[in-house]
Amino acid sequence: MQPEAQAPDAQARGALEVAVLVSIGRHPLTGRARRADQDARGVELAMSLDKSRITLVHAGVLDEESEGALRGYLGMGFQALTLVEQPPGADVIPALASALSEAKPQLVITGERAEQGEGSGLLPYLLAERLGWPMVSGLANVEKVENGVATLLQALPRGQRRRLQVRLPAIVTVDGAASAARQSAYGPARRGEMRLAEAPAVFDEASNDWTVQAARKRPKRLKIVKAASARDRFKAAAAKAEGGGGQVLSDVTPEQGAEAIYKLLKEEAVLR
């Protein structure tokens, strides 16, 4: 983004190694496999970085459907994609962790959550925990990388932004606030190469006991606005969510924090 600011750094340490974790997306209407929207935005973010060397990494099954989706990422202008092949039902976190600790990228970018499968959004956290790297969520942009420190722009609700600095290596995730992905071109997509990488396959034991069903749209909590005029209604609609009933806990022990959360979940009838 800022070539001047970055030039000395890039010269000093060569190109910035970036890995983007990409998953198989699922079109919300037709369920067809595609590039996952957030992951593709992650790729776009990586491509906007000055002097970066980008590796695309996917861990999973390679079949006709997933290949089409993965080629969608290649069509953004890549010659190859690293494919950590995993059997169906495998837990991809150990595999990704081993691939990443081997490749040693400075920055790992990925989407907030997958469009299918568990889609829990936990992968970046678990990966960060395993690698011992910091992790920042909800990025709108990476402003610069200098002397091993990245300046990030994090997106907050209602268009607010927060500038953060993080020491690399780090994992960052992007959501809809990052720039939309560029068009995927058919020619490069089908010419691109899938480079197979070896990694241990660890079966996800827990998933055996699960019943999986299609997700439904979560009901939204209704906000009841008693407003006399259109102006009031507009203000109510545009107002910041007010944490009226909440409390900010700082400098508390983990136990106290956990207790407070547990209490809240009880109150909200999430836990019974």
Partner 1 sequence: MLETLLPILIFSALGLAVIGAWRRIRLWRQGRPSPVPILKGLAAMPRRYLVDLHHVVGRDKVMSNTHVATAGGFVLAAVLMILVHGLGLAQGVLGWALLVASAIMFVGSLFVARRRRNPPARLSKGPWMRLPKSLMAFSLSVFLITLPTVGVLPADFGSWILAVALAAVVTWGLGEMFFGMTWGGPMKHAFAGALHLAFHRRAERFGGGRSTGLKALNLDDPKVSLGVETPSDFTWNQLLGFDACVQCGRCEAVCPAFAAGQPLNPKKLIQDMVVGMTGGSDANYAGSPYPDKPVGEHHGDPHGPIVAREGKALVDAETLWSCTTCRACVEECPMMIEHVDAIVDMRRFLTLEHGNTPNKGAEVLDNLIATDNPGGFEPGSRMHWAADLNLPVMRDVKQADVLLWLGDGAFDMRNQRTLRALIKVLRGAGVDFAVLGNEERDSGDVARRLGDEATFQSLAKRNIATLSQYRFQRIVTCDPHSFHVLKNEYGELGGNYEVFHHSTYIAELYEAGRLHFAPWKGGKVTYHDPCYLGRYNGEYEAPRNVLRALGIEVAEMARSGFRSRCCGGGGGAPITDIPGKQRIPDMRMNDVKETGAELVAVGCPQCTAMLEGVVDATAEIRDIAELVADALVPESEARAQPTGEARIAIKEVAS
Residues that bind partner 1 (CB under 8 A): 27, 29-30, 32, 34, 75-77, 182-188, 190-191
C-alpha angle 155-18-94 in degrees, rounded to nearest 5? 95
Q: Least distance from C-beta 76 to partner 1, angstroms?
A: 7
Angle between helix 64-74 and helix 37-48 axes, rounded to 10 deg: 30
Shortest separation between residue 27's beta carbon and partner 1, angstroms:
4
Tokens of 269: 């009838």
- Select 24 or 76, whichever has its Cβ closest to partner 1: 76
Task: Report which of 197, 180, 185, 181 is spatially closest to residue 74, judged by C-alpha positions.
Answer: 185
- Strands 52-60 and 33-35, how do they pair? unpaired
Taking the complex as a whole, the smallest distance from the CB of residue 261 to partner 1 amounts, in Å, to 39
Environment class of residue 201 by beta-carbon count within 10 Å: exposed (0-12), middle (13-18) or buried (19+)?
Answer: middle
CB of 104 to partner 1, least distance (A): 30
Our CB check for partner 1 shows the closer of 75 and 105 to be: 75
